[in-house]
Structure formats: structure tokens, C-alpha cells
Amino acid sequence: PFQVSVIYYLYPCRGLGLTIAVVLLLAFVERPSSLSVTSDSRYRSPPWEPPCGFTESIEIVCLLIFTLDLAIKSYLIGWDEFKKNKWLMSYTMVISISIIDWVLSISMVCDEKLRVRRLIRPFFLLQNSSLMKKTLKCIKRTLPEIASVILLLALHLCLFTMIGMLLFPKTEDPLKNQEWKVYFRNLPTSLTSLLVLLTTANNPDVMIPAYSQNRGYAIFFISFSVMGTYCMMNLLTAIIYNQFRGYLLMSVQTSINRRRLGIRAAFQVLRSHDAENAAGERVPIDAVLQVMSRIQMQSYYREAITSVRTRQYQTEGFMNREQFKQIFDELDKDRINEHPPAPQYNSVVLQKLQVIFSHSYFTVFGNAVALAHVVCICTVLVLNSDKSTGERDNLYMEIINMCFIIYYLSEMCVKIFALSWKGYLSYRNNIFDGFLTILLLVLQITIYVIYHGVFSLWEMVRFVNVLVVFRFLRIIPDIKLMALVASTLLDLVKNLRAFAGILVVVYYIFAVFGIWLFEGAIKPPPDMSMENITSNFSTECGTYEQLGYWPNNFDDFAAAIILLYDVMIINNWQAFMDAYTRYTTEWSKVYFVCWWFTSSVMWVNLFVALILENFTYKWDRSHSCSVTDVERIRYETS
């Protein structure tokens, strides 16, 4: 089993990741399918529905792969360990429930209303990532403290609701009843008003009727917001961040420890092969090289390990444990990007040209030209902003674009001449640049060849312009301060995987749940078709109908995702809550409040904590020496 395990872990199961992705993406295709141009319920054409058995056949293949994976894993760790492992037990359960549900589905010819397996699918994603499991554990640890803040927040909300109801009763004078009428009519309304105020989504509106009567009432609302939104909500951020302090450092340490263990195990395995013909505590170089050639790893690491270090021991033919450990130290080193030497030209003219073209001012000039191009496009856009696409004369635009693209092309050729082909490609910046330049050229030629007479080809020109704007991003690495911030953001993306995974899980579950609960709940008035969309039908301001939120509904998976995203952003989320309360029952508020809490309170705070942790980690690393230093300090602190 050890060897199977080594094989299973050395060839990382990329296939499994793909399977998970496929299973999760099925939600877009399954009924209700998201394959329509728009999700607007007013003028949505019936989407393409997959025939029965299409998604189901893909799904069963994926489920079988999961079963295989489970079988291998259980074989590897043995029954005793398997029983103790809660994740694997749940994995078994989830797979079996899915298969049972699948069979039911097939037997009902895909006409089932409730598809339980959709809801539990995200479990596969969670189960497959140790990072996500760790993050979940981290969240679990903060729960008691979070609960105390939530309790205080609930108390805060309840007390202010009562005080609000006492302050704004129905009075004799109907003119002074606005506040009571709209926001404090009864207990649920008052509670909702203040809960929404906690998210700031109805901020000035909720206090306007009262404030308009008397300035003093503003104190009530401001003290509620300051205590609730600013103090308590940010305290929640602090608590979550506090738990995640040192999270990155810990995960780096863990992965280093795990690698050490792995190297030790590999040594044992290779040694045992060799047990007969050697003194024991050493491994043959040949075996190491053979293994190295079959391992999946980035090529420069492999080269570094095999070429530099192993050669040293080539004469002996064996290496001992210490030596074996040392050759893998290469993995700790960051790749130093070595640029190949510039080509040597004999001609003096060529040499001078080479100096000119590889000078940094040449890059600056290139940036200036790119900026000029963007400014040109911007000017044309501003001048044409009132013309419709048909009226615009794209000829000038195309000529300008062509000139600039020719310059870009020549810049690229000249750089290749100065740095040689390999030298050019060794800069990431150049790859980005060259790729976009070639793409632009191809597009521009297409435009010329196919549609040269037809100047209304706005779509293509538009795409070219977007690419030009995009290409302008090449200036970022050349501005030092920006490069720093941009690299922090890029690093963030790397560390984001676990968090993004959790986000996917919660979005998936809430979207599937939302579709169950609210599919087709909101129906537009029958007289609203494509024609009279602009006609003003009278609805109250600020409602779902007046704001035209029709495309945000739970009628398919993609639309549900966007709706959930909009609620996560918080602004105007009360419009959604209000609409679904009116079209269904009061209880739909629970769903929206749950989602607000999960996404906006928990996840956004997690995200902020991650950014803080990432930035301070990077800062500490650049100011301290190495991981081990920080490790030592940490030990002394605790």
C-alpha cells in the first residue's frame, strides 16, 4: 500500500479537480437551464433544455470517479483509520446519497422537483482541499467570539427597535405619521428597518421623515449606526482577523514540515529497494534520477535538483540521508529568472542599434506611445459619445489603430533583434505585450480583409479598442509603487484559493436553495413586453418593480448567482427582500438575512482578514530575514 500511496500522491489527482469542476458546472446546464441570452423574466426566450439523460450521464461518470477515489483512499488508509476520519465517512455518505438520488431521478424520467444531490455537490470541493478544511476549522474556532458579538448585536437591535417604536408612534396629526407609516408600523417592520439600517442600505431614507420634523431624531439613528455598523461590525472583523493572524505563516510551516516528512519517506522507500546490495543508510543515485524523471514538478526545479546537486555524488553512486535531504533544499529557493545573454553582432551599426533598443528609455517611449494610443481612443470616444454606432465614422479610428499597431509590431521586432528570441520571451512583460500585439494585428487584418467597405463594423473595432486599453496595463511593472501594490494583489490571488473555494460552496448551496424556494415566484405584469419597456407604469419608487430588477431572480442558476452577488454587495438589498416578501411569504426574509449574514458579514470579513494577513505577512517578511526567524519569534511569544 505504501507504494500505491506514493504513486497516488506523487501523481496529483488533477483529474479529480476536473471532475469536481464538471459536476459543479452542471448546475448551469441542468433544468432550469441558464443557457439563455438574458434572465429578464419580461422578455426571456425559453432556454435550451438538455434532453433527459444528458447531464445525468455526465453526472454518473463523475460519481463513479469519486467512488473510485474513495475506494483508493480507503484502501490506502485502512478500515480502522477510515472509521475515525469524519471527512471520509461523510464522503461515503454524500456519494451514496447522490447515487440514490440519481437513480430516483432517472426512474422519474428527469421530472423530479427536488434534486437533493445538487445541494450536496459542493461537498466534493470541500473534501478535496486540505486548505479549505483547515480554513473551516479556523472559522469554527472563532465561532464562540463571533456568537458573543452577534448576541450583543441582537440585543442592540432589539432595544433600538423598542425605543424606535416608542419614539415613532401613530399620532393624531396624520402629517406627522410618515415615519410610523413607512418604517415603524409594527414589530416586524421596525425590526426590518433597523436591520437594513445596520447594513446602511436605507441610511438617509429611514430617518428623513422624522428628521424633517425635528433635528433631534437624527441622534437616534446616528447612535444606532455608529454603535452597530461602525463599532460592532468592525469588532467582528477584528475578531476574525485575530484568529487568522499567523495563518499564512502556519500554512507555510506546515507545508515545509510535510515536505520534510515526504522526503524522509521517499528516502526510506528508495533505500528499501536497495537493502540487499548496500550498507543500508544510503540510496543509489540512479534510482533517484529515475524517480525524478517521472515525478510531476516544475522543470526548473527538476533541472536544479538533478543537474547541480546530484552530479556531485555521481562518482560515489550513492548518497546518504543528509545528502538526500540537501538536494531537495533547492525547492526552497525561489526561481531566479535568468535572462539569456543578448546576441553578439559584428557590425558596429547593429551594435549601436542594439544598445539603443535595449535601453530603458526605449521602453518608456513604448509606454508613452501606448498612452498616446489610449488617449486617441478616448478622444474619439468622447467626440463620438452622442453619435449612435451607425453614425460613427470608424475609418479614422481604424487608420489610427493601424498606425499604432504597426508601431507596436516594429517595437516587438526591434526588441527581438536586440534581445534575441529567447531573451525577448524571458520577460513576462514582453510575452503579454507580444501576444496582444499579434492578436491586435490579426483582428485588424480581419477587419480590413473581410469588411473593408463596411465601416459600421463596430463590434470588431470595439474589441480592438478594448484590447488596446488592456495592453496599456504593461506600464504597471514600470512604475515602482504600482508594481508593489499590484504584486501584493497578485499574491493575494494565490492565497485566495481556499477562501474562493468556500465562497463557491456557499454561493452554490444558497443558489440551489434559492431556486428551490423562489423559482418563478416573481412574475412580471402580463402587459410588459419588449415594446412598452420604456412606458412609465406607476410603481412606488425604490421597489423591485420600479428599479426594473426583473433579470435578478431565482429562475435559473446563473441569475441566482448574480442576485446573491447583488445582495452580498449590500446596496439596495432590501428591494430584493421586500419583493420576495410580497410575492411569497414573510418567511423569505429569513433566507435573505441568512445570506446577508453568511456572505456579507462572514465571508467579506474573512476576505478582509486574508488581505490584512497577506499584507502584514509580506511586510514582515521583507523586513525580517526568513521564515525560520519569524518562527523563532513566534515560539518566544507563545
**Does 12 interact with a second copy (rule: CB under 8 A)?**
no
**Does 225 interact with a second copy (rule: CB under 8 A)?**
yes
- The residue among 96 and 628 lying less far from a second copy, judged by its C-beta, is 628
Running DSSP on this structure, what letter comes out for residue 283?
A: E
> Which cell is 543 given?
421597489
- The residue among 24 and 198 lying less far from a second copy, judged by its C-beta, is 198
- The residue among 441 and 558 lying less far from a second copy, judged by its C-beta, is 558
> Which cell is 364 given?
518608456
For the bound state, the minimum distance from the C-beta of residue 613 to a second copy, rounded and expressed in Å, comes to: 9
- The residue among 44 and 117 lying less far from a second copy, judged by its C-beta, is 44
Q: Which of residues 243-262 bind a second copy (CB under 8 A)?
A: 245
CB atoms within 10 A of CB 340: 13
DSSP string for residues in 129-142? -HHHHHHHHHHHHH
What does the alpha-carbon distance between residue 328 and residue 316 come to, in Å, rounded to a whole number?
A: 19
- The residue among 105 and 192 lying less far from a second copy, judged by its C-beta, is 192
CB 151 within 8 A of CB 232: no
Options 12, 169, 317, 341; binder of a second copy; rule CB under 8 A: 169
CA distances from 614 to 61, 108, 466 (A): 39, 50, 32
For the bound state, the minimum distance from the C-beta of residue 450 to a second copy, rounded and expressed in Å, comes to: 21
**Beta pairing partners, 320:** 282
What does the alpha-carbon distance between residue 598 and residue 160 come to, in Å, rounded to a whole number?
A: 23
For the bound state, the minimum distance from the C-beta of residue 562 to a second copy, rounded and expressed in Å, comes to: 5
**Beta pairing partners, 283:** 319
CB atoms within 10 A of CB 5: 16
CB 162 within 8 A of CB 248: no
Stretch that binds a second copy, among 89-97, 135-143, 158-166, 294-302 (CB under 8 A): 158-166
3-class DSSP assignment, residue 318: strand
Stretch that binds a second copy, among 96-104, 322-330, 433-441, 473-481 (CB under 8 A): 473-481
For the bound state, the minimum distance from the C-beta of residue 488 to a second copy, rounded and expressed in Å, comes to: 7
CB 248 within 8 A of CB 276: no
Q: Which of residues 580-619 bind a second copy (CB under 8 A)?
A: 604, 607-608, 611-612, 614-616, 619
- The residue among 319 and 380 lying less far from a second copy, judged by its C-beta, is 380
The type of residue at 15 is G
For the bound state, the minimum distance from the C-beta of residue 10 to a second copy, rounded and expressed in Å, comes to: 35
Q: Which of residues 316-375 bind a second copy (CB under 8 A)?
A: 374
- The residue among 521 and 611 lying less far from a second copy, judged by its C-beta, is 611
Options 106, 469, 506, 509; binder of a second copy; rule CB under 8 A: 469
Residue with cell 534575441: 420
Question: With 0-12 CB in 10 A as exposed, 13-18 as middle and 19+ as buried, what is 218?
Answer: middle
CA distances from 73 to 13, 134, 141, 347 (A): 12, 19, 28, 65
Question: With 0-12 CB in 10 A as exposed, 13-18 as middle and 19+ as buried, what is 428?
Answer: exposed
Residue with cell 473593408: 452
- The residue among 98 and 588 lying less far from a second copy, judged by its C-beta, is 588
For the bound state, the minimum distance from the C-beta of residue 456 to a second copy, rounded and expressed in Å, comes to: 9
What does the alpha-carbon distance between residue 489 and residue 498 come to, in Å, rounded to a whole number?
A: 16
Q: Which of residues 92-151 bind a second copy (CB under 8 A)?
A: 144-145, 147-149, 151
Options 140, 259, 260, 462; binder of a second copy; rule CB under 8 A: 462
Options 175, 275, 279, 348; binder of a second copy; rule CB under 8 A: 175
**Beta pairing partners, 318:** 284
- The residue among 273 and 462 lying less far from a second copy, judged by its C-beta, is 462
For the bound state, the minimum distance from the C-beta of residue 180 to a second copy, rounded and expressed in Å, comes to: 8
Q: Which of residues 365-404 bind a second copy (CB under 8 A)?
A: 374, 377-378, 381-382, 384-390, 392
Q: Which of residues 540-559 bind a second copy (CB under 8 A)?
A: 541-542, 546-552, 558-559
Q: How many residues bind a second copy (CB under 8 A)?
A: 127
Stretch that binds a second copy, among 181-189, 262-270, 411-419, 579-587 (CB under 8 A): 181-189
**Does 406 interact with a second copy (rule: CB under 8 A)?**
no
For the bound state, the minimum distance from the C-beta of residue 400 to a second copy, rounded and expressed in Å, comes to: 15
Q: Which of residues 22-41 bind a second copy (CB under 8 A)?
A: 34, 36-40
Rg, the chain, Cα only:
31
Question: With 0-12 CB in 10 A as exposed, 13-18 as middle and 19+ as buried, what is 440?
Answer: buried
What does the alpha-carbon distance between residue 396 and residue 402 come to, in Å, rounded to a whole number?
A: 10
Options 96, 223, 242, 628; binder of a second copy; rule CB under 8 A: 242
Q: Which of residues 523-542 bind a second copy (CB under 8 A)?
A: 530, 533-534, 541-542
**Does 88 interact with a second copy (rule: CB under 8 A)?**
no
**Does 200 interact with a second copy (rule: CB under 8 A)?**
yes
Options 565, 590, 597, 628; binder of a second copy; rule CB under 8 A: 565
CB 576 within 8 A of CB 563: yes
Name the residue among 305, 266, 304, 302 with its Cα closest to residue 283. 266
> Which cell is 361 given?
528609455
